[in-house]
Amino acid sequence: MKRFTIAGQWQGSRLDRFIRASLPGTPFGVTQILLRKGLIFLNGVKASGNARLKAGDIVAVDLAEAEENGRSRQSAPSRARSTGRIGTSIPVIYEDDSLLVIDKPAGLVVQPGNRKEKGSLLDLLGEYRRKQTGERDEPEFPFTPVHRLDRQTSGALIIAKTRPAARALSKSISHGEVRKIYVAIVEGVPSERTGEISTPLVTHKGARSHSVPGPGGKEARTSYSLVRALRGDRAMLEVSMCTGRTHQIRAHLASIGHPIVGDKEYGAASSSGGRFLLHAWKLQFQHPETGATVSVTASPPEDFDEQ
């Protein structure tokens, strides 16, 4: 049994945060398991993770059990890959103690338009976190998306589980260090198999933001390559962004006469069952804690194969 006496700088801190800092080799998920099993004590009493500390408190941890749980977690494939789901329909394609990557379905809004609106991804992430940790209280840091996908865009989306991970990932994104590759079905077939669109974009903010090419706009660069021509004068493109402007892919492809199928807001003439055919296919980034390269793939939905 490992015992700690709480010093003044931990006054008011949560017990689970103290354990993670004091046992750096123990993953956060293992800490939660130990708490649920009643193997962490505060002043001789089994404690919950959200218990607040006071100077002079005694914290005791069953260290042998912690090490055994740590070894089993580290050897389990679920630390690097997950086949779980958020809610009933959102696949988790990568998860560890710092982050997770989901395959967001089309039609799901990431953040609600107002706080009373329910059914957003944030609501589902809150429930997923509660199931993982067993905590019902408001978290110090909720599971938080570090970038956006439009409601009708499907595919890979990074979620930070801790504040340090969110800061590091947001910094990587702002510096262009996160590689994002999309698949788009567009109207018409580009005359060039590959190309780069570098037209500046002006974004008009509002209830429905909209970006258009124009003088005085922000720098925006989008690269594309033709995957294959499709029936009905359509094409499948692989698309990547060198910058990250609002609706950048949608606005840029429309600007060269190849709007995304179903994207009526950007001039598409054809429909696609109520959504536009844009999918976040691949992500590659450095892990915010280990620095290791993380590569994930979210296979395009069936409606892409049906084109």
Residues assigned a catalytic role: 150
Nearest to 47 by CA among 35, 55, 65, 56: 35
- Cβ contact 207:222 at 8 Å: no
Strands 222-230 and 194-197 come out as antiparallel
- Cβ contact 245:220 at 8 Å: yes
Strands 154-160 and 278-286 come out as parallel
- Cβ contact 252:197 at 8 Å: yes
Q: What DSSP state is assigned to residue 137?
A: S
Structure token digits, residue 39: 């193997």
Q: How far apart are CA 281 and CA 220, in angstroms?
A: 20
Q: Give the angle subtended at the CA of 48 by the CAs of 163 and 125, to the nearest 5°.
A: 40
Q: Which residue's entry shows tokens 């915010």?
A: 288
Q: Which residue's entry shows tokens 């296979």?
A: 299
- Cβ contact 220:200 at 8 Å: yes
The separation between CA 26 and the C-alpha centre of its own chain, rounded to angstroms, equals 24
